[in-house]
């Protein structure tokens, strides 16, 4: 199943967001893969600072892993550059697929 959602990056943090993801923690990448998340991409709309994420999943979505220590640590690490909820999780907004060309 493919899912998509959007998040919001705070202005001026585009390079830092990319840097942090270029250096994603190996244990976080492993956790995602072990929970059936693959083909995970995040795109930035530079006009609005909206982040658009799409991922293929067999099991939990990446947001469902929020009870794990490593995800909570990642959320805290990213909280200074993104719009977040009180628990540091990124504010996410699910997107509905309206077209797909295979």
Q: Is residue 86 part of a domain?
A: yes
Q: Is residue 26 part of a domain?
A: yes
Would you say residue 11 has pLDDT above 90?
Answer: yes
Q: What is the CATH number of the domain that holds 72?
A: 3.30.70.100
Q: Is residue 90 part of a domain?
A: yes
- Residue 62's pLDDT is 60
- Residue 13's pLDDT is 98
Q: Is residue 78 part of a domain?
A: yes
Closest Cα partner for 3 from 46, 50, 48, 63?
63
Q: Is residue 87 part of a domain?
A: yes
Q: Is residue 101 part of a domain?
A: no
Would you say residue 10 has pLDDT above 90?
Answer: yes
The parent domain of residue 40 ranges over: 2-94
Q: What are the structure tokens assigned to 52, written together?
A: 């658009």
The number of distinct structural domains making up the chain is 1
Choice among 19, 21, 33, 91 that is catalytic:
21
Q: 100 an active-site residue?
A: no
- pLDDT tens readout for residues 16-69: 999 999 999 999 999 999 999 999 999 999 999 999 999 999 965 566 799 999
Q: Tell me if 82 sits within 8 A of 90, measured CB to CB.
A: yes
Closest Cα partner for 17 from 38, 48, 37, 43?
43
Q: Is residue 99 part of a domain?
A: no
């Amino acid at each position: 199943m493919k899912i998509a959602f959007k998040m919001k990056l705070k202005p001026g943090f585009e390079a830092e967001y990319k840097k942090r993801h270029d250096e994603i923690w190996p244990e976080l990448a492993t956790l995602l893969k072990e929970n059936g998340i693959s083909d995970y991409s995040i795109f930035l709309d530079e006009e609005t600072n909206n982040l658009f994420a799409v991922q293929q999943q067999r099991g939990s979505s990446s947001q469902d892993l929020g009870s794990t220590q490593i995800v909570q640590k990642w959320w805290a690490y990213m909280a200074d550059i993104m719009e977040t909820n009180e628990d540091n999780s990124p504010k996410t907004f699910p997107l509905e697929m309206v077209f797909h060309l295979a």
